[in-house]
Amino acid sequence: MREHDRLFIGGEWAAPSGTGTIDVVSPHTEEVVGRVPDGTEADIDAAVAAARRAFDHGPWPRMAPAERAAALGRLSAIYAERQQEMADLVTEEMGSPILFSIFGQAALPQMVLQYYVDLAAEFPFEEERAGMLGPVTVTREPVGVVAAIYPWNVPQFTLMMKLAPALVAGCTVVAKPSPEAPLDGFLLAEWVREAGIPEGVVNIVPAGREVGAYLVEHPGVDKVAFTGSTAAGRTIGAACGRRLRACTLELGGKSAAIILPDADLAATVEGLKMASLMNNGEACAAQTRVLAPRSRYAEVADALAAMVGGLAVGDPADYGTEIGPLAARRQRDRVEGYIRVGQDEGAKVITGGLDRPHDRGWYVAPTVFGDVTPDMRIAREEIFGPVLALLAYDDEDDAVRIANDSEYGLGGSVWTADVDHGVEVARRIRTGSCGVNLYVLDPNTPFGGYKDSGLGRELGPEGLAPYLEYKAIPRPA
């Protein structure tokens, strides 16, 4: 039982203003494995005030980028040494299979942090330009206090995509983890203190949706960075619009994997195991629409069913597990609801369905639907679980049309024996990223979406830009 009775505010473990707590329930055992304070509006006030002081009067924004990078380098080194501890913790709190956690929940966040540490050494925070009327100094300065609101599915990764560039820029941060997965944030707070990050630069307050909305509207906040549902993103975007406050929104997805007629089917299906079902399917960029040519549809259906039906489903802490439980009871119920919707719409369950793999824990059988048409809800709405929809296409143009016929535009992939041609097809897909014969997120390349998948980009140098303001200082020739 991991129990915390204080919040991380102003560089210290501060007593919460309220008495409410959040129970963290294991998705595998359905037992309470942790407890943290349930943050209140008063706690948000205290955290924002601490971040405001640190930004307005503290050393952090006034340090040279190399000084900030040195401090963050210490944090990165601690993170690198204790990745296994973080992976185990995230698996316990939200059910991610341990082999995925080791990479996606621990190693990848540390890689993102180290990427921005290294970027600080070469990024042009200041430059001289020959203006038309005389010389101009152009500086890039920190935007201010950042509210970082992040979800339960990959909590450290989605936080670090915000925290690392914000800190490199010189911002201060109030981070709000989700109630389902707050424990990893407390471990990170310990490492922040150990690394000697100045007080108030990082503040962590777990809380529910209402308190999160209060943080978004807080007058002491200069920018909001959010990862979560499109519905919540619309609300946050509207609130930021009213206040003329900058925001970055990384939202939902319904990504398509296009299997071209020349694809090596065995290699493709093996690649889709990660691209489509990573983290129990609880990934915004998961390739959950699989598009197969009619000429190979039956062959693809059989191969996909064999792969998905053969996945090991069980204890997420077991190194042999490929699919663990979903993060919350309501998430399991939501996914099962979509399986019923698919059946009601006339799609065919090729493998999986509503028979639960285990009596205890929030498990759903990995499921593949065939005979899916583009107008069905299971082909249009984000399910966020191990459920794939297999659709047929007539030719390449038809595949591109189906892939782009979506409110979302986050990820995608093309599977083919001709990589150069796959790149050309990927260029036609209206998404923020589209892999060829794989799907990965690389820390040094931009990640984000078109359409209802969000606003702005994270990762890469493009992920640093939203945390900077540009200032021009002209002077006489």
C-beta neighbour count of 364 within 10 angstroms: 29
- Side-chain half-sphere CA neighbours of 2 within 13 A: 18
CB 222 within 8 A of CB 245: yes
CA distances to 210, 220, 350, 422 from 39, in Å? 10, 17, 45, 48
Q: Which residues pair with 226 in a beta bridge?
A: 149, 249
State the helix-helix crossing angle for 155-169 and 65-81, rounded to 10 degrees.
160
CA-CA distance, 252 to 112, in Å (whole number)? Answer: 21
Query: Which residue among 92, 93, 250, 336 is the active-site one?
Result: 250
CA-CA distance, 345 to 186, in Å (whole number)? Answer: 44
CA-CA distance, 206 to 211, in Å (whole number)? Answer: 9
Closest CA to 201 of 17, 6, 9, 465: 9
Question: Which residues lie closer than 8 Å to 467 by C-beta, 6 or more apart?
Answer: 142, 143, 146, 165, 166, 168, 169, 171, 223
SS3 450: strand
CA-CA distance, 114 to 74, in Å (whole number)? Answer: 10
Strands (E), 359-399: 367-372, 387-393
Report H helices in 82-217: 83-94, 98-100, 108-119, 155-169, 183-195, 209-217
Handedness of CA 424, 429, 435, 437 (dihedral sign): negative
- Side-chain half-sphere CA neighbours of 131 within 13 A: 14
Q: For 355, phi and psi rounded to 5 degrees?
A: -75, 115
180 counts as catalytic: no
CB 457 within 8 A of CB 448: yes
Distance from chain centroid for Cα 174: 17
Question: Residue type for 94, please?
Answer: M
Query: Which residue among 284, 322, 336, 382 is the active-site one?
Result: 284
Number of helices and strands (H, E) in the chain?
15, 23
The shares of helix, strand and coil residues in the chain, as percent rounded to the nearest 5, are 40, 20, 35
284 counts as catalytic: yes
- Residues noted as catalytic: 250, 284
